Amino acid sequence: MHRYADLAPLVGVQGNTEGMALHARQGAALVRRPHPAADIVAEIEAEATRALTGLNP
């Protein structure tokens, strides 16, 4: 695969994948500021806990 080719990397691709296209698509427009992954996981966990607590009063 040529560097900066517009093809997305697929499962099993070998070689230097850093130069391959990584399409962000529409989701990139939703990012307001970067967050550490740990913060995102903690937020998801808190939301899930609140939702599940509401199902079993």
Q: What is the pLDDT of residues 20-48, one digit of tens each?
A: 666 677 777 888 888 899 999 999 999 99
pLDDT of residue 34: 85
Please determine, for residue 3, whether its predicted confidence score (pLDDT) is greater than 70. no
Please determine, for residue 1, whether its predicted confidence score (pLDDT) is greater than 70. no
Q: Which residue has the tokens 């939703």?
A: 30
Distance CA 11, CA 1 (A): 14
Domain residues for the domain of 10 are 1-57
**How many Cα atoms occupy the beta-carbon half-sphere of 57 within 13 Å?**
1
pLDDT of residue 39: 93
- Count up the domains in the chain and report the number: 1
pLDDT of residue 2: 65
